[in-house]
Structure 1
């Protein structure tokens, strides 16, 4: 049960004064629909109205607050002209300018002969001072009651800053006093107040520095969020570790045979990872290990060795991939080895129907299949295993926790190995996986050469198209990646659909009908798979795509990738995309097309991607240069979306939160002490309540 003290946090925003259904819908789209969503909606700037000069002293370009006498109104002769009002004080005069100004409103707001206070930016026009659309107008008493410094919030179309400020103000005023969950000594050392005081201060910046991530109030709230994250992860992890596993010890016969069948020896990093996994599988505890490997580091082979441990021990293994095309690719890669070893391997996807599917399921349930590779079809209700011992999950960030557990629930004490080709900086890894055991593949198998990466200005687009055509005429294949699917009014990014049309017009006659394919995330899954299969099979030679091609897809003939608007992509993403080429022995090339003049950060980022082939270094640099919210795109990667913590700025707080969470659970495993009770409030406040149930059940 959620503590009653927290009920205000989950009050719908339409209970706030003046927040009707239309306004509530706009805010919900921007922040979420509860008061706590407004609490976490941080100001992005401020308006300082403390500068109160006379008209003669007012500096152009600064926001100033002036007390003036209203002289005369000059309504425009035609609607196209602005409405002007002359105002003055003892030192001079000023013109107020309103475009599309309504006379009735302006006469009420600024009646001639009256004293008013206005606030806005002064500018010079033909040598005369004017103020266009003052953003505050009122009587001296009204302005005196107004805050001298106002926070500025991120907004959405149809929502004004003044309305947003008012609603956030009211929401924050309803924040309750909660029991203190911080360690008193640590809190004192950091000089932090209570969480409610920190929340109030977050929304009352007085100087530009108050918006920085290192202020005491922001640091306190960031720590609260990170502590909730780490505590929840440890609770989930503790429960998984308590779930009894079963020792799976192989005799090595299949792995020895595989060693002899491989075209080249395993790297040291692969051997190390296999040893760590086999050690976990042999223990009484259930394995939960993350295998991180850069593009082309040989994760699939490590997965095969791990699955063979299970088969040697008399159990079955399953490998789950996020897309059908990836599942098929894994099956095609591993099937020849399985055949040589006498291991029965099968593929199960959503495409399997009727008798064929029924026969496959029967074999799986009777133990006739040793290794099954598939999509999320593997954890559907009618899929039963004879004796599932190991579940391997590929590109695990594409699956929800529920889907992962759905597969491990198909057997007794199933070990889990999760794999990702997205190198994740240590800080991000901690927030997503806590202290999960990690194996890293840091070497490339022999024969893998770095992809030749170059930056090219968009003005050279015709040359790039010509280079693409020449590549294809030599029998090679090319990817062309764009960030968006269709042109939108708000964005000038190259759209995949538009680029596809332009490339067809320019090159199809030369390359042959149907030689230019298109794949993007908004296509139906079947169409997407068909377009990818055409490219894999060589029916299309040039594939225009959005980032859906990013992970795992293996086309050995693809040797060139063109990435348009490279300056807008994350480094980790560029590195992933670049890994799609040069996988078949021939060297790969990557052209990063950029538009306009590059800023300093963009230039630094593209320089790193040109110079480095180390995905882990690239990911760390991306985090440093762009901050965590951008790295990997949090929503796409399944990494938590922090609203108060900035992982690049608060990495030290994350380390402390991890140690604190460990200590808390060692001393008070059921969170029953007074601090433990306060920490339950913290978990609910940051919506990590799923972890609370593990306190009871764990």
Structure 2
């Protein structure tokens, strides 16, 4: 399938536009502009009022003004590089036009004495004299129409002027074809949006500041077009994934009932809802591709285990992958009692398994004697075979690439995939990043979870904090102490952690303080964690290696040093390491005074709420989506007009619109389907076009 001919002019070289030569075209590439289409998607970011007025008298100076003047005497510069001045009069007053390096032959031609001209430029007061320096426009009265009453101002780069951008954008607007409508007619009518060409023209010819607002009808429509193209691409990816046949895994509930009977608590409504959604997906004959998103402590592991039991009830096996050995062992410990109550065989496989033991596990797995396997990426190795893998659960999406997800799928040709993440993702990002997946959200805390008290303490009160730790340890409780992240290098992180470790050891005594950091060999790290989990050490000094999933119910204090240097989501994750047992827990955010206004606001949000979704939304508003997930590697698109923070609601509408369009017209053959194809080409979503099913 190739680009429709109607769009050819928009994708031609920039030199096809009036006023754009090879050099300018080269410079425009720095703005990400390589074709007329890109100029159209580079909207003006502000505007200048150039409406003709009677006089400069009474205007608030400095300001840009447009007036009709009678040209008076010319005063050439006295010295080289001095100012060339021309006396002019408008309807009420006189002022000067000033040109530096002005050439008298040129100025005599453009502004002959005694003529009437319209001039437009910045007027200011200098030494008591009103002057307009280097007018931007000088035209005869007949040509006054060539000065826009409200002139759009474009983003620029070296070697590209406003005049060039203005001229190029007018030329590009002239190439706009009349395209079919890809937006749902009801949505279009309800929003009162103009058609695409009209919206584009209006966005480039604003008549007031209001037209430049992101909320103007034209701009909202164009933002929606971008989001719609993106969501169509995700929906096409999802549809092609949906065509991957899956296994129907229908559970009879017997094992799940045993587990529920053995539990001391009832599942939350959110957990039950998620379990139902997953079970329904697994019962379909297409492959499940679902994201389970839950806040810290919302009980994802229980939901995951119930899903694994559906696979076992259906006669198959399940695997649960964790990014690190520590987490894999922790999943094993947490799930072992549940597995025993259900009477299913649960095993672990990590890089540590060697020789005879490893061979025995692999044989049991291949024979189907192991029902559920917990492991690290060691389960990807070529010699690992399952008898009948039905469900693969991947913990913490961002640690696993899509490639590994697919490799895991190969172990069971049509295994269902469930991805779990403990990072609450703001809705707009979830839609942009995981739009091809179905999402289940756990937004309730299981009963009996004690709220965590969060306090802000300045680093000047370090000694009080150490005294507090001493008292808590005397009661037999444990503490985490997280060292600041030093951007420069991991080596510096290491010194920070080692220094703190030495100082706390000196204050609290030998043997009660442990240390974990990123530079340690895995075995040492695991050993230090194991000692802390067993209660042999009372304080664990750590860099952020502990943020995800570590579970020590006896730890009730979390100290985060230089908390202002961490991201909100990370602080929220770290805080979630305490408050896992029955005792009241505290998180101390230590900051270095004075705090910036933004730093203060971030830490206060944490003090006020434990709702990870609210925290993530605040983080998004404060930092922008680029910082939040490092846009480069996150798979989140960069939009030219749409704004993910501002247009979350639009993104949700675009998603349901795109999915509905494909459900009604999977091959995009109807007139609206054809228009949607043009939209995909227009938005450079060429990969998506290849996914359109061919019947």
TM-score after normalising by structure 1: 0.74
Q: In the TM superposition, what is the alpha-carbon distance from 1:299 to its structure 2 partner?
A: 0.6
Superposition deviation, residue 445 in structure 1: 3.4
In structure 1, the partner of 2:680 is: 683
Look up the match of 2:2.
2
SS in 1 for 2:65: strand
1:670 maps to 667
Moved more, 403-412 or 501-510: 501-510
Q: How does 1:312-323 map to 2 (within 5 A)?
A: 312-321=313-322
Tell me what 2:393 maps to.
Answer: 392
Uncovered stretches (5+) of structure 1, i.e. residues with no partner: 77-81, 98-102, 487-494, 520-525
Question: Shift of the alpha carbon at 1:690?
Answer: 4.3
Q: Which residue in the other structure is 1:207 paired with?
A: 208
Q: Which residue of 2 aligns with 1:478?
A: 481
Q: For 1:325-404, what aligned pairs fall within 5 Å after superposition?
A: 326-327=327-328, 329-331=330-332, 333-334=334-335, 341=343, 343-348=345-350, 364-367=365-368, 369-374=370-375, 384-396=385-397, 399=400, 401=402, 403-404=404-405
> Displacement of 1:578 after TM fit?
3.6
Q: Residue 588 of structure 1: which of 586, 589, 593 is its match?
A: 586
* CA positional deviation for 1:343: 1.8
Alpha-carbon distance in structure 2 between the residues aligned to 1:661 and 1:671: 11
Contact 1:246 1:283 in 2 (8 A): yes
Contact 2:350 2:377 in 1 (8 A): no
Query: What is the DSSP-based 3-state SS (H/G/I as helix, E as strand, rest coil) of the residue aligned with 2:291?
Result: strand
Deviation at 1:207, TM superposition (A): 1.8
Distance between the aligned counterparts of 2:454 and 2:209, measured in 1? Answer: 40
Are 1:563 and 1:590, in contact at CA under 8 Å, matched by a contact in 2? no
CA contact (8 A) 1:46 1:151 kept: yes
Distance of 1:643 and 1:661 partners within structure 2 = 20
Partner-residue secondary structure (3-state), 2:693: helix
Aligned to 1:490: none
1:232 deviates by: 3.9
Question: Where do 1:193-592 residues align within 5 Å?
Answer: 193-250=194-251, 254-255=255-256, 258-259=259-260, 266-321=267-322, 326-327=327-328, 329-331=330-332, 333-334=334-335, 341=343, 343-348=345-350, 364-367=365-368, 369-374=370-375, 384-396=385-397, 399=400, 401=402, 403-426=404-427, 429-433=430-434, 437-454=438-455, 460-463=458-461, 465-466=462-463, 476-480=479-483, 485-486=487-488, 509=503, 511=505, 536=529, 541-544=540-543, 551-552=548-549, 557=555, 559-562=558-561, 564-565=563-564, 569=567, 575-583=572-580, 587-591=585-589
Whole-Å separation in 1 of the counterparts to 2:564 and 2:83: 45
Name the larger-Rg structure.
2
Q: Residue in 1 aligned with 2:114?
A: none
Q: Distance in 2 between matches of 1:123 and 1:641?
A: 40
1:380–1:660 CA distance, 2 compared to 1 (3 A): same
Q: Aligned-pair distance for 1:193?
A: 3.3
Does the residue aligned with 1:589 lie in a helix, a strand or coil? strand
Aligned counterparts of 1:595 and 1:85: Cα–Cα separation in 2: 53
Residues 230-282 of structure 1: CA distance to partner in whole angstroms, max 9, x if unpaired?
A: 44444444444454433324465654565576676644543443344334434
1:211 Cα deviation from its structure 2 partner: 1.9
8 Å CA contact 2:344–2:371 kept in 1: the answer is: no
Unaligned runs of 5+ in 2: 112-116
Cα gap change, 1:596 to 1:612, in 2 (>3 Å): closer
Larger deviation, residues 134-143 vs 148-157: 134-143
Q: CA deviation at 1:348?
A: 4.4
Distance 1:148 1:549, change over 3 A: farther
Post-superposition offset of 1:389: 0.2
Q: Deviations over 1:578-634 (max 9, x none)?
A: 4344446561314275866637xx887765543222234445666788887777666
Distance 1:138 1:250, change over 3 A: closer
DSSP 3-state at the match of 1:696: coil
Per-residue deviation, 1:303: 1.1
SS at match of 2:610: coil
Give the alignment of 1:103-252 within 5 angstroms: 115=111, 121-122=122-123, 137=136, 139-140=138-139, 145=146, 147-154=148-155, 173-183=174-184, 187=188, 190-250=191-251
Report the Cα distance in structure 2 between the residues aligned to 1:165 and 1:396, rounded to whole angstroms: 45
Contact 1:535-1:543 at 8 Å conserved across structures: no
Q: CA RMSD in A?
A: 5.1
The answer on whether the counterparts of 2:200 and 2:218 sit within 8 Å (CA) in structure 1 is: yes
Residue 608 of structure 2 corresponds to residue 611 of structure 1: yes
Q: Normalising to structure 2: TM-score of the pair?
A: 0.74
In 2, the alpha carbon distance for the partners of 1:288 and 1:569 equals: 29
Find the residue that maps to 1:297 and give its secondary structure. Answer: coil
Query: 1:274-312 deviations in whole A, cap 9, x for unaligned?
Result: 344334434545434332211111112221222133234
Q: Give the CA deviation at 1:478.
A: 2.0
8 Å CA contact retained: 1:392, 1:416: yes
Distance 1:517 1:129, change over 3 A: farther
Structure 1 residue 422, shift from structure 2 partner = 3.0
Change (3 A) 1:201 1:320: farther
Distance 2:154 2:525 in 1: 43
Contact 1:51 1:63 in 2 (8 A): no
Q: Point out the more displaced range, 284-293 or 65-74.
A: 65-74
Give me the whole-angstrom Cα distance separating, in 2, the residues matched to 1:359 and 1:143: 89
